[in-house]
Amino acid sequence: MSAGARGRVWHGDQMTDTMKAGEGTRILVVEDELMIRMLLDGMLSDLGYTMTAEAGAIDDAMRLAKQADFDAAILDVNLNGEPITPVVEILVERGLPFVFATGYGQRGVPEAYRTSPTLQKPFQVEALAQALAAVAPKPS
């Protein structure tokens, strides 16, 4: 589907046409649970986004945050017991937007970044779409 292509979405019990807001937008996913990364890949695809890179460990996430080519990131706040803060700092330095994903609520988000968009786990595709729309660049 090309940028600006129309998709069909369910709203309540009726299907409507909508623009695929994230068409072509590249997403880095940092999540330690493989099944959640797989679920996110499918959700992102359904929304017209592309998961271009993924990491399940802090070292891999830091390397990708420094080097990978992406437009926005979804960050689990806790990777196998390690806080996501070093990755966040790299993204801030690069000027790249991000969304946190957490099962701990706002208290799980690093204090300095509590105003950033946050997805409460478990989340639905609608919540993901809303969070990404707040940070991801619009397609041209």
Measured between alpha carbons, how far is residue 50 from residues 22, 40, 62, 95, 115 in Å?
9, 10, 20, 19, 25
Mean pLDDT by 10 residues, the chain (140 residues): 33 36 79 96 94 97 97 96 96 97 86 91 93 76
pLDDT of the residue at 75: 98
| Residue numbers of the domain that contains 56 | 22-135
The answer to pTM > 0.85 is no
For residue 45, tell me if it sits in a domain. yes
pLDDT of the residue at 139: 54
pLDDT of the residue at 107: 80
Q: What CATH number did the domain enclosing 72 receive?
A: 3.40.50.2300
pLDDT of the residue at 63: 98
pLDDT of the residue at 137: 60
For residue 5, tell me if it sits in a domain. no
